[in-house]
């Protein structure tokens, strides 16, 4: 009995592990399918962006970054298809094993059934069923023989059904195996096509870079002029954020002083108001303390830190930080064509571009949207004549630069994914690019790890 129990437990564990492995395999296949769809969508987006870029007379330089990103996407797509093929190969191997096992089982059942029919035929030559029953010694034996004949007939019927069932299952597995092999052939064809396209795109990109490098001096000069403008803008962004931090600090300190005044019994609107300076209010507080002390009344000293966020701003900053890697993208569809930090220009190798954010290429007519709930702290016009929006999320700031039109104003409260403006389309270069930055107080950080995976 104990051996049977152990055998049954091992069987259950084996089945559970088999089902678990199958579920994990199916989950991997589903994720790869989703990744492949996303990569194909982003390649399609890159082609749309390039279509706009190539209509421009000065399109070559603008197209380099987008094509570079498209090459990476296509390489990722090829790797994804390759992983799909690996899983498919395992599925096919397992199906082939199952088909072999089922074929052996069906053959064995057919052989057993054939032997049973032969035996029944031989027995029928010797006795008829009627004679088998009539030759019984007594009525009870006749009943037992009749029951035996019934059970034998039922057993034959079940054998026929089992053969049919196993044969149907075998046919289904063979059909599934055929479908998987067809899918494998289609995937291999797709991968070969993607590889050929990748080679062609790489050759075209190398040719474009070579042509542009003939104008390297001219391009270097243009880039340095743009860097000078970009530096001015970054200084302005830093100045604005510093001013916003000072304003937040002043608001927090003012609120704390007013809380202390109310704690001392001073009444807002009667003893002090918005025009009462901090120093004047502190004098009123000290005077009130002296009065309470003179009257022998207890005076509780309020603990006021030098700087703190308001409770609302503290909650907002905590929520923002808690959503790292889950923030929505500042455009609905886009490709990162310039990452955060210092990087060498693909054409003018002597130029190092230090990017304080990320540049996201998108379709013409795209809208910029808030990456999180917050307050619009500033809207400015940049040196290049485009617009930039600053949104404060407690002690975090997001900056959306290169907008042609803005739908919000300073002081507006915005929600996550709310449209805040139209991304500027550069007619000269044929590009629609949003520059997106993330700051924690006066420290600029890479926004890409904060955004949700696509």
H or E segment to which residue 208 belongs: helix 139-213
Res 18: pLDDT: 54
Q: What angle do CA 38, 415, 401 make, to 5 degrees?
A: 70
- Which pLDDT belongs to residue 409? 95
366 phi, psi to nearest 5 deg: -70, 155
What's the confidence (pLDDT) of residue 430?
79
Spatial distance between the Cα atoms of 212 and 219, rounded to a whole number of angstroms: 8
Per-residue DSSP letters for 409-435? -TT-EE-TT-EEEEEPEETTTTEEEEE
Write the CB contacts of 406 (distance below 8 Å, at least 6 apart in sequence).
Answer: 379, 387, 389, 420, 421
Q: Which DSSP symbol is given to 352?
A: E
The partner residues of 368 in beta bridges, in order of sequence, read 421
Which neighbouring-strand residues pair with 367?
422
358/97 Cα distance (integer angstroms): 51
**Which pLDDT value is given to residue 47?**
75
Answer whether 420's CB lies under 8 Å from 407's CB: yes
As a whole-number percent, the residues of the chain with pLDDT over 90 amount to 21
Tokens, residue 186: 């289609």
**Distance in angstroms between the alpha carbons of the first and the last residue of the chain:** 55
Name the token pair of 290.
């002296």
CA dihedral sign, ordered 337, 338, 339, 340: negative
Q: Under a CB-based contact definition with an 8 Å cutoff, are residues 322 and 394 in contact?
A: no
- For residue 216 the two structure tokens come to 């390297």
* Spans of the chain below 70 pLDDT: 1-25, 52-62, 112-113, 116-137, 139, 141-142, 145-157, 159-160, 162, 296-309, 347-350, 385, 454
**Looking up tokens 């009539």, which residue turns up?**
134
Residue 195 CB burial class (10 angstroms; 0-12, 13-18, ≥19): middle
Task: For the chain, count helices (H), then strands (E).
Answer: 7, 13
Question: What domains are defined for the chain?
Answer: 18-213 (1.10.287), 248-310 (no CATH), 314-450 (2.70.70.10)
Q: Determine the Cα–Cα distance for residues 409 and 400; give it in Å rounded to an integer.
A: 13
Distance (Å, rounded) from C-alpha 217 to C-alpha 74? 32
Rounded to whole angstroms, the Cα distance separating 303 from 305 reads 7
Closest Cα partner for 35 from 71, 84, 68?
A: 84
CA distances for 388 relative to 92, 119, 336, 407, 414, angstroms: 55, 92, 19, 11, 15
Within 214-266, residue ranges assigned H as helices are 216-263
- pLDDT score, position 307: 41
pLDDT at 120: 60
C-alpha–C-alpha distance, residues 259 and 42, integer Å: 53
- H or E stretch covering 63: helix 59-126
| Spatial separation of the C-alpha atoms in residues 297 and 265, rounded to whole Å | 12
What is the structure's pLDDT at 303?
Answer: 53
């Amino acid at each position: 009995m104990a051996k049977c129990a152990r055998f049954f437990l091992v069987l259950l564990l084996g089945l559970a592990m088999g089902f678990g492995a199958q579920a994990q395999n199916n989950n991997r296949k589903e994720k790869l399918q989703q990744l492949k769809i996303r990569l194909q969508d982003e390649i399609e987006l890159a082609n749309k962006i390039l279509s706009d870029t190539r209509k421009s007379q000065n399109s070559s330089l603008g197209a380099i970054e987008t094509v570079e990103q498209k090459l990476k996407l296509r390489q990722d797509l090829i790797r994804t298809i390759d992983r799909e093929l690996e899983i498919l190969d395992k599925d096919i191997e397992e199906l082939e094993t199952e088909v072999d096992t089922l074929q052996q089982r069906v053959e064995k059942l057919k052989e057993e059934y054939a032997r049973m029919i032969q035996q029944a035929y031989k027995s029928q030559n010797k006795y008829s069923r009627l004679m088998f029953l009539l030759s019984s010694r007594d009525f009870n034996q006749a009943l037992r023989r009749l029951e035996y004949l019934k059970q034998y007939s039922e057993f034959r019927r079940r054998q026929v059904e089992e053969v049919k069932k196993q044969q149907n299952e075998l046919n289904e597995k063979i059909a599934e195996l055929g479908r998987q092999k067809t899918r494998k052939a289609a995937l291999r064809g797709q991968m070969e096509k993607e590889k050929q396209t990748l080679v062609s795109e790489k050759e075209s990109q190398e040719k474009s870079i070579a042509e542009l490098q003939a104008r390297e001096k001219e391009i270097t000069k243009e880039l340095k002029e743009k860097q000078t403008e970009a530096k001015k803008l970054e200084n302005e962004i830093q100045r604005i954020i510093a001013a916003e931090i000072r304003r937040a600090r002043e608001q927090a300190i003012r609120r704390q002083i007013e809380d202390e005044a109310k704690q001392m019994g001073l009444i807002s609107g009667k003893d002090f108001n918005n025009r009462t300076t901090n120093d004047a209010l502190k004098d009123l507080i000290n005077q009130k303390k002296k009065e309470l002390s003179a009257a022998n009344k207890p005076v509780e000293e309020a603990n006021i830190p030098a700087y703190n966020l308001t409770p609302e701003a503290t909650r907002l900053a905590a929520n923002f930080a808690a959503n790292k890697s889950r923030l929505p993208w500042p455009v609905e569809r886009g490709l990162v064509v310039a990452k955060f930090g210092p990087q060498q220009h693909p054409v003018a190798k002597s130029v190092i571009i230090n990017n304080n954010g990320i540049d996201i290429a998108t379709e013409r007519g795209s809208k910029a949207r808030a990456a999180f709930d917050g307050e619009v702290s500033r809207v400015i016009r940049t040196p290049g004549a485009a617009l930039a929006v600053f949104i404060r999320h407690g002690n975090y700031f997001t900056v959306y630069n290169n907008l042609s039109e803005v739908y919000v104003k300073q002081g507006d409260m915005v929600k996550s994914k709310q449209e805040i403006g139209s991304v500027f389309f550069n007619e000269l270069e044929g590009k629609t690019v949003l520059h997106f930055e993330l700051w924690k107080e006066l420290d600029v950080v890479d926004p890409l790890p904060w955004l949700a995976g696509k």
